[in-house]
Structure 1
Amino acid sequence: MSTSPDRNGKRSAEPGTPRSRDALRAAQMYYLQDLTMNAIARELRTSRSTVSRLLSMARETGLVQIQINNPLDRAPALEREIRYRYGVEAHVVPVTDLVSDSDVLDRVAIQAARTLGPLVDSNAIIGVAWGSTISAVSHHLTRKVTHDSTIVQLNGAGNTQTTGITYASEILRRFGAAYGARVEQFPVPAFFDHAETKTAMWAERSVKRILDLQHRMTMAIFGVGSVGAGIPSHVYSGGYLDEDDMRILSESRVVGDVATVFFRADGSHSDIVLNERSTGPELELLAQVSRRICVVSGETKINGLRGALAAGLATDLILDERSARTLVQHS
């Protein structure tokens, strides 16, 4: 049997192997034919414990997706309200007020990974922005076989303390492994010291190749950075910005960023000085990608999220229930 490590380091069957076919067969019997695990074990001539493991595998690998329709759930109403106000497809993750910020992030990341899977197809070029939220999403991706697909890094990750390669490449590697896609890194700093350096680098053929891939993206997935987030955005906590940079952001009334490109509450961004040195994609380019999936966890990111929505950066929004309530109540 051919196996490979899953996101938790365990061994899981490759698609098309006898074990994956058994998992699909067991799932069909259990969920569609209402057979008991004992009955499935007899039919497959195996043990009940093996059937239990096959059903777990079917859920973990995305063969089975479980949906609960609760008529008393507030999430669908919030999703409709967000869709009406902002024109995006919303996926609201139910959470209570007692759940910690880190647990909220984990639940949002799981939902984002499950939402993303069915949208990924062969011949796709998927732009991925590094950050705390997308890093969490990358840990929960379920495997899906695609062909001739590419994962491209949206913005550089280096700063004066680190190249950022290890951090960003791990996120990209998980996306590539999940979808059997080629990974294209962007080995430049997050911010150049001088705008002139960026202009010169953007004329280099090795860099232009990555920029060309970004221009041909069919999908982008990103979080929203915010200075005061409950779980600090990596760009603000990882040594990418010094005191002068933070002062400039404050004076420019910046509320957040996507892929290290900053914007104000009304979505404006073209005259923000730091964007001239940022290696993130031009927001006008990002707004032209056909599918743009924004993942947000935590109410402290709402101002940044409003700015991103005002700039038209998202077609799909995945966020927790508390943040969704804040978004619609204070619009």
Structure 2
Amino acid sequence: MPAKRSAASQSLRAAQMYYLQDLTMDAIARELRTSRSTVSRLLSAARESGLVQIQIRSPQDSAPELERALRSRFRVDVHVVPVLDTLNEAEVLERVCIQAARLISPLVDSSAVIGVAWGSTVSTLSRHLTRKITHGSTIVQLNGAGNTQTTGITYASEIMRRFGNAYEAKVEQFPVPAFFDHAETKTLMWDERSVRRILDLQARMTMAIFGVGSIDADIPSHVYSGGYLDETDLDSLSAGNVVGDVATVFFRANGSSDGIAMNLRSSGPDLDVLRTVRRRVCVVSGASKISGLRGALAAGLATDLILDETTARILVDPDTAGAAEFSTAEHRDYSS
């Protein structure tokens, strides 16, 4: 631990000299009595750990305007990630998650209880997390991952492990099915002390991090592509006018979730519980998730929203959706 603190202290000192005092790397090397290459490594470490965050604002950048519009309309803190229309969905996802990882790190405090919902977006996000030393923090899995084909432990635990390693936090997994076969089984399981312990921990969350699941996404949400739902389940969701989910809890376009039968079998947190969490960070990539995102915002599930520029434009002005879809299709035809 002392070695880590020493390295972090050196990185911070080098960053302050370079970015705040305008010293050259040669001058910093002389003052720290080290080599120029070591200073370069210290500055890289400062950026990777989140000690330094670089913001670039172009006069032609539309992101600030979009952020103001979305902040005013949905009452959330918004970060729009600028992306080119020529990028495919996978490339946009990577760009969004890289920036999201750097934005989330400063929000993480010691003694925090951070709920994490597994999924395609959060899995990608977890690979780009920047290290930050915290003390007494806990990462808790928000929903079970088991289904009829797999326990889901390998998939979900890897995501939780990355979060735990990034913030030096304790990890609490939730080894239950994503969906129970019967609502009665869930009710009985929720009375078990081992499960109750995780539920009580979730109730004490200070932060939640999640994506928005959507059956129509170009990069399918893991809950829809990983064998968690059969045809009967999908028909039930369609009949209930479901547009998306957060942590395997479903909702409609107007944000309502009452009367959706699948939620009675879901291991995810009740949306009323989620809404009590002080900081709720929603990361979304891809215009094909727009319906689910609108539903999540209508439900008041997010306090912070990180999304790509194309999706932000459509959220502000739905009339731009057609042009965005044409551009994406054109790019796909070219790519194929």
TM-score range (shorter-chain normalised) is over 0.9
The residue number in structure 2 matching 1:49 is 37
Residue from 225, 228, 244 that aligns with 1:237: 225
Change (3 A) 1:289 1:301: same
Q: Quick check: 1:171 aligned with 2:153? A: no
Q: Specify the SS of the correspondent of 2:238.
A: helix
Alignment of 1:108-127 (within 5 A): 108-127=96-115
Match of 2:87 among 99, 105, 111: 99
Give 1:82's aligned residue: 70
The answer to whether 1:29 aligns with 2:17 is yes
Matches within 5 A, 1:281-296: 281-296=269-284
Unaligned runs of 5+ in 2: 320-336
Q: What CA distance in whole angstroms lies between the structure 1 residues aligned with 2:27 and 2:278? A: 46
Q: Taking structure 1 as reference, are residues 14 and 155 closer, same or farther at Cα in structure 2, changes over 3 Å only? A: farther
- Give the whole-Å Cα distance in 1 for the aligned partners of 2:28 and 2:107: 32
2:23 counterpart SS class:
coil
How far does residue 149 in structure 1 lie from its aligned partner after superposition? 1.3
* Partner Cα distance (1:121, 1:107) in 2: 25
Deviations 1:133-185 (A, max 9, x none): 11111111112222221111100000011100011111111111111211111
Distance 1:137 1:83 in 2: 23
Q: CA deviation at 1:34?
A: 1.4
Aligned twin of 1:185: 173
Q: Establish whether residue 259 from structure 1 lines up as the match of residue 283 from structure 2.
A: no
Q: Give identity over the alignment, percent.
A: 72
**Aligned in 2, Cα 1:147/1:47: closer, same or farther, shift over 3 Å?**
closer
Q: Distance in 2 between matches of 1:102 and 1:75?
A: 21
Q: CA RMSD in A?
A: 1.5
The answer on whether the counterparts of 2:29 and 2:36 sit within 8 Å (CA) in structure 1 is yes
Structure 1 160/14 Cα, relative in aligned 2: closer, same or farther at 3 Å? farther
SS at match of 1:319: strand
Whether 2:4 is the aligned partner of 1:15: answer yes
Q: How many Å separate the matches in 1 of 2:267 and 2:192?
A: 14
Q: Which residue of 1 aligns with 2:316?
A: 328
- For residues 130-279 of structure 1, what are the structure 2 equivalents within 5 Å? 130-279=118-267
Q: Report the Cα offset of residue 42 of structure 1.
A: 3.0
For 2:311, the aligned partner's letter is S
Task: Read off the aligned partner of 1:213 and give its amino acid letter.
Answer: L
Change over 3 Å in CA distance of 1:290–1:21 after alignment to 2? closer
Contact 2:206/2:278 (CA < 8 Å) preserved in 1? yes
Distance 1:93 1:70, change over 3 A: same
Compute the displacement of 1:24 (Å). 2.2
Residue in 2 aligned with 1:8? none
After TM superposition, give the deviation of residue 196 of structure 1 in Å. 0.8
Deviates more, 1:105-114 or 1:39-48: 39-48
The 3 A distance-change label for structure 1 pair 325 and 14 is farther
Residue identity matched to 2:172: E
Structure 1 residue 14, shift from structure 2 partner: 5.4
- Quote the Cα distance in structure 2 between the aligned partners of 1:87 and 1:20: 36
Query: Retained in 1: the 8 A contact 2:50–2:106?
Result: no
TM-aligned CA deviation for residue 98 of structure 1: 1.0
More helix per residue: 2
List structure 1 runs of 4+ shifted beyond 4 angstroms.
none
Question: How many angstroms apart in 2 are the aligned matches of 1:14 and 1:96?
Answer: 41
Whole-angstrom CA distance in 2 between matches of 1:219 and 1:181: 14
Partner Cα distance (1:308, 1:241) in 2: 20
- Amino acid across the alignment from 1:26: A
Three-state SS of the structure 1 residue aligned to 2:205 is: coil
User: Per-residue deviation at 1:282?
Assistant: 0.5
Is 1:313 equivalent to 2:301 in the alignment?
yes
- 2:10, 2:134 → 1: CA distance? 21
- Say which of 103, 106, 117 aligns to 1:129: 117
- SS of the aligned residue for 2:4 comes to coil
From 303, 313, 325, the counterpart of 2:291:
303
Within 1, Cα distance between the matches of 2:147 and 2:194? 20
CA distance in 1, matches of 2:27, 2:51: 21
